[in-house]
Amino acid sequence: MTNAQYPMTNDKMILLNPGPVNLSDRVRNALLNPDLCHREVEFSQLQSRIREQLLQVYDLEGVGVAQPRHRWAAVLLTGSGTAAMEAMVSTLVPRNGKLLVIENGVYGERISKIAKIHDINYITLSHPWDAEIDIKRLIKLLDENADITHLAVVHHETTTGRLNNLVEIAAICQQRRIQILVDAVSSFGAEELNFEDWGITACAATANKCLHGVPGTSFVILRRDALPSADTIPRTLYLDLATYCQQQDKGGTPFTQSVQTFYALAEALQEMAEAGGWRARHSYYSKLANLVRDGLASIGIKPLLPEGSSSVVLNAYYLPDNFSYEEFHDQLKAQDFVIYSGQGNLAKSIFRVSTMGAITQDDMERFVNVVKQII
């Protein structure tokens, strides 16, 4: 339906920003499921189903024999990805704990802000935004601070598109029995996350990035034994994961959840499982990202990061000569493509292209051609 008073954006607009993403018809139609009360059994079943589906994305369901299946839990929240990050950090770092936050972009720095606001004892390992995490400095810092109990790191730093080396960082944490908290908001569903082997304690993510759901639902996947004991006074009422987990295990919810976006997430997860799960999504994103990278390289547009450093989800590129970001953005938008600006100091020099969401190879070929025409 269109309405002259509230003109809608062209429904063929291709979103190349890192979420919210273009929805498939299937996911969009799921929003039209029946109205539900969040205290009724139908909601309870929907919520439980999503919790199972989320664990299944990385095969956490069948952990089975040696370790009980209930070692892991997915906890669902109503809120954007930042709500999940804040819930994870504020719930899981105990008052007598000490957190090390690794920063190499906006989202790592956001974790530090969360720690500061909640009065968590923390230190940072900071890097310039375009830098890779310095493992030698990390080890030195951990050696100097033997009281560190938790480490928080962004898996895919969306600021630059860098995929941080979680394997190496996780191994260092495992050796030292440090609990690792991961911001996987822009990688969950498209990049490898080996919870068991890497010894991940928890990860925060969202419905509306690589999972192709609707904004409004986010979640934390956590090891149950990392939750604080029942007599711990939480730092936050609304974002306390212990309360959510306890009530969700019984089919309930402490507060009203965003029912319609739950429907959409259940459908998006089903759609993803049928298409081959995270591995298939990884390959598909990779194909689209390479298509864009090669196409832009052929007209002299260079990536910000060296080959092999980026996720398959998003790449950052230097702006073409003689274009401001605004000009480039507006010309692309006139042709139905929404690109994404750089943040902070990068705002004037780069643009970002994410290939998440229900977009096709044709869409991305057309994108490359439109860029060629424009410049």
Ligand X SMILES: *Cc1c(COP(=O)(O)O)cnc(C)c1O
Which residues contribute to the site for ligand X (CB under 6 A)?
18-19, 80-82, 85, 107, 154, 156, 158, 183, 185-186, 206
Say which residues have a Cβ less than 8 Å from residue 324's Cβ, sequence separation at least 6: 348
Question: Closest approach of Cβ 18 to ligand X, in Å?
Answer: 5
Question: Closest approach of Cβ 264 to ligand X, in Å?
Answer: 15
Cα–Cα distance for residue pair 355/359, rounded to 1 Å: 7
Cα–Cα distance for residue pair 23/170, rounded to 1 Å: 33
Question: Closest approach of Cβ 167 to ligand X, in Å?
Answer: 18
Tokens of 142: 């951990």
Tokens of 265: 């997430």
Q: Which is nearer to ligand X, 155 or 223 (CB)?
A: 155
Query: Could you give the dihedral angle defined by the CA atoms of residues 367, 368, 372 and 375, in that order, rounded to the nearest 10 degrees?
Result: 70
Question: Closest approach of Cβ 212 to ligand X, in Å?
Answer: 14
DSSP 3-state of 76 = strand
For residue 32, give the amino acid letter: L
Question: Closest approach of Cβ 105 to ligand X, in Å?
Answer: 8
Cα–Cα distance for residue pair 358/321, rounded to 1 Å: 31
Q: What angle in degrees, to the nearest 10, is found between the helix axes of 361-374 and 325-333? A: 130
Q: Which is nearer to ligand X, 36 or 207 (CB)?
A: 207
Question: Closest approach of Cβ 286 to ligand X, in Å?
Answer: 18
Say which residues have a Cβ less than 8 Å from residue 275's Cβ, sequence separation at least 6: 281
Residue by residue, DSSP assigns 209-221 as STT---TTEEEEE
- Closest residue to ligand X, judged by C-beta, is 81
CA 105, 108, 112, 118 dihedral sign is positive
Cα–Cα distance for residue pair 89/86, rounded to 1 Å: 5
Question: Closest approach of Cβ 67 to ligand X, in Å?
Answer: 29
Q: Which is nearer to ligand X, 107 or 198 (CB)?
A: 107
DSSP 3-state of 197 = helix
Q: Which is nearer to ligand X, 47 or 80 (CB)?
A: 80
Cα–Cα distance for residue pair 138/164, rounded to 1 Å: 13
- Nearest-CA neighbor of 240 among 71, 43, 25, 89? 89
- Nearest-CA neighbor of 371 among 331, 317, 324? 331
Q: Which is nearer to ligand X, 36 or 152 (CB)?
A: 152
Question: Closest approach of Cβ 100 to ligand X, in Å?
Answer: 18
Q: Which is nearer to ligand X, 80 or 90 (CB)?
A: 80
Q: Which is nearer to ligand X, 158 or 315 (CB)?
A: 158
Q: Which is nearer to ligand X, 107 or 284 (CB)?
A: 107
**H-helix or E-strand containing 203?**
strand 200-206
Q: Which is nearer to ligand X, 73 or 88 (CB)?
A: 88
Question: Closest approach of Cβ 270 to ligand X, in Å?
Answer: 22
